[in-house]
C-alpha cells in the first residue's frame, strides 16, 4: 500500500543526518522521487560539512545544513524554517533529530525506526508506515524499502557530485591546485590512492601502502594521493611519503586536501583504478564507476559496503577474503569470527588499531590491484547528469 499523500507531492524533504558516505548513499531517494514525479522539488537536510556530496546533484533543489551537534537555538531555528513546508518527508534514519525535523516539516512522513520500542514509540506514531531498520541490510537496500512504501521504482542509483571539470582541464587544474607537482596527463593511465581514513581504526599498514605505491609507479601509472585535510591524515600521508624511494615520492601528485568532493569525483571518473579503506572517498569512487579496491576491517559490508556504479544488486557477504560486485573488489582479512566486529577497532575507540587491518597482507592488496588493472572493465562510468 502506497504511503504517498492523496495528491502528487509538490515538495519533498529527504533527511540524511550522518557522515559523508551516508549522505552519498541516500541520493537514490531523491532520484527515485524525481523519476516518478519530475515536477516535485526535492530538498535535503544534512550535517554541515557533508553538503559537498550533493554538489550539482540534478535531483536536489535546495540543501539545508545544520551542525552535527547543534545548539538548541539552531535546532529551534531549523524547525521554524522547515515547519509544514513539505507535502512529504523521507526519514531513512532511526535517530531522534531526523525524526524531529521530519515531524515538523511535513504532514506525511515515511521512514525507519529502531527495533527497540523504548523511547522510540513517538517515532512510530509519527510515521504513516514505520519500517523497522534491519541491522544487517545495506543502506541502499533500506532506501529501496522506503521507496517501495511510496510506490516508487527501486531506489538503487547512487548519484555522485560533480564540479563539471572536463578531462582536458585537469593538467591546468592540478598545476594550480598542487604547485610544484609533477606534470599530469589526464589521458594517460592513472591511479588514485586514498591511504588515510578519518579514523585510525580503519587504517591499513604503512608498509602495504608504500609497496602498493611503488608497484603502481613501476607499472608506469601516474599516482595521485587523495585524503582529507585533517592534521592527523596529513601526518599519516607525510610518514608514508618519507618512507618511499625518492623517484617514487617525486612522481606522486598529492591532491590530499586540495580538491572538493565534486572535483575529486570528476577526477575519479577517468582513473584506471582507485584503492582505499572504508571511507567516503571509497564510496565515491565506487559510485563513479571507477575500478575500485576497497579494504574493509571492522565495518560490516552488509550494511556499508560500497555501492557499484550500476547499483548494488547482490548484497555483500559478512566476511570473505575477496568479494566482487560490479566495479568494486572488496578485500578483508577474516582472522577470527569477530570480523567484522562493528566496533571502533580492537580497543573500542576511534584512535584504536584494528588487528584485521594490520593482518591484511600486502601481496593480497597489490595482486588484486594489478589484476584489476589488467582485466577488461565493463563500461559503467558515471558521467554527470
For the stretch 331-361, pLDDT in tens is: 999 888 899 999 988 988 988 999 999 999 9
> Where does 167-374 sit in CATH, by number?
3.40.50.2000
Burial of 179 (0-12, 13-18, 19+ CB in 10 A): exposed
CATH of domain 11-149: 3.40.50.2000
Banded model confidence at residue 151, pLDDT cuts 50, 70, 90: confident
> Using alpha carbons only, what angle is made at residue 250 by residues 246 and 252, rounded to the nearest 5 degrees?
120
| 187 Cβ neighbours under 8 A, 6+ residues apart | 167
Q: Look at residue 75 in the predicted model and tell me its pLDDT.
A: 96
- Average pLDDT in the 152-166 region? 91
Q: Do domains 11-149 and 167-374 have the same CATH topology?
A: yes
Query: In the structure grid, which three cell numbers stand for residue 299, read together?
Result: 565495518
The CB density around residue 64, as the number of other CB atoms within 10 Å, is: 17
At residue 1 the predicted structure's pLDDT band, cuts being 50, 70 and 90, is: very low
Where are the domains positioned within the chain? 11-149, 167-374
Pairing of strands 222-225, 253-254: parallel
Q: What's the pTM value of the predicted model, to 2 decimals?
A: 0.93
Burial per residue of 248-274, b for 16 or more beta-carbon CB atoms within 10 angstroms, e otherwise: bbebbbbbbebbebbbbbbbbbbbbbb
List, in order, residues 6 or more apart from 279 with CB less than 8 Å away: 21, 194, 197, 198, 202
Spatial contact of 41 and 58, defined as CB atoms under 8 Å apart: no
For the residues 140-146, what does the mean pLDDT come to?
A: 89
The arithmetic mean of pLDDT across residues 154-179, rounded, is 94
Amino acid at each position: 500500500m502506497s504511503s504517498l499523500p492523496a495528491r502528487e507531492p509538490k515538495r519533498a524533504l529527504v533527511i540524511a543526518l550522518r557522515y559523508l558516505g551516508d549522505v552519498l548513499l541516500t541520493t537514490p531517494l531523491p532520484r527515485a522521487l524525481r523519476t516518478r514525479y519530475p515536477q516535485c522539488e526535492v530538498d535535503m537536510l544534512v550535517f554541515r560539512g557533508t553538503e559537498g556530496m550533493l554538489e550539482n546533484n540534478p535531483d536536489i533543489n535546495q540543501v539545508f545544513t545544520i551542525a552535527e551537534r547543534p545548539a538548541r537555538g539552531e535546532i529551534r531555528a531549523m524547525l521554524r524554517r522547515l515547519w509544514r513546508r513539505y507535502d512529504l518527508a523521507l526519514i531513512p534514519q532511526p535517530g531522534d533529530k531526523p525524526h524531529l525535523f521530519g515531524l515538523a516539516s511535513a504532514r506525511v512522513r515515511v521512514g525507519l525506526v529502531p527495533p527497540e520500542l523504548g523511547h522510540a514509540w513517538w517515532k512510530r506514531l509519527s510515521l504513516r508506515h514505520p519500517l523497522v531498520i534491519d541491522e544487517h541490510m545495506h543502506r541502499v537496500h533500506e532506501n529501496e524499502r522506503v521507496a517501495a512504501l511510496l510506490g516508487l521504482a527501486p531506489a538503487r542509483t547512487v548519484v555522485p557530485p560533480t564540479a563539471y571539470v572536463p578531462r582536458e582541464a585537469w593538467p591546468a587544474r592540478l598545476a594550480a591546485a598542487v604547485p610544484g607537482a609533477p606534470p599530469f596527463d589526464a589521458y594517460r593511465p592513472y591511479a588514485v590512492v586514498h591511504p588515510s581514513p578519518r579514523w585510525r581504526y580503519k587504517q591499513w599498514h604503512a608498509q602495504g601502502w608504500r609497496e602498493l605505491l611503488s608497484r603502481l609507479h613501476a607499472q608506469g601509472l601516474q599516482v595521485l594521493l587523495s585524503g582529507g585535510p585533517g592534521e592527523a591524515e596529513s601526518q599519516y600521508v607525510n610518514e608514508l611519503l618519507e618512507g618511499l624511494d625518492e623517484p617514487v615520492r617525486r612522481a606522486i601528485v598529492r591532491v590530499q586536501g586540495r580538491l572538493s568532493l565534486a572535483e575529486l569525483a570528476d577526477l575519479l571518473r577517468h582513473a584506471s583504478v582507485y584503492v582505499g579503506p572504508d571511507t567516503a572517498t571509497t564510496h565515491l569512487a565506487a559510485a563513479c564507476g571507477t575500478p575500485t579496491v576497497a579494504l574493509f576491517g571492522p565495518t560490516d559490508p552488509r550494511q556499508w559496503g560500497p555501492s557499484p556504479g550500476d547499483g548494488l544488486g547482490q548484497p555483500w557477504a559478512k566476511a570473505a577474503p575477496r568479494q566482487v560486485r560490479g566495479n568494486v573488489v572488496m578485500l578483508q582479512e577474516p582472522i577470527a569470527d569477530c570480523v567484522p566486529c562493528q566496533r571502533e577497532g580492537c580497543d573500542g575507540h576511534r584512535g584504536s588499531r584494528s588487528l584485521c587491518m594490520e593482518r591484511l597482507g600486502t601481496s593480497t592488496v597489490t595482486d588484486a590491484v594489478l589484476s584489476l588493472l589488467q582485466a577488461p572493465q565493463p563500461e559503467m562510468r558515471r558521467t554527470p547528469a
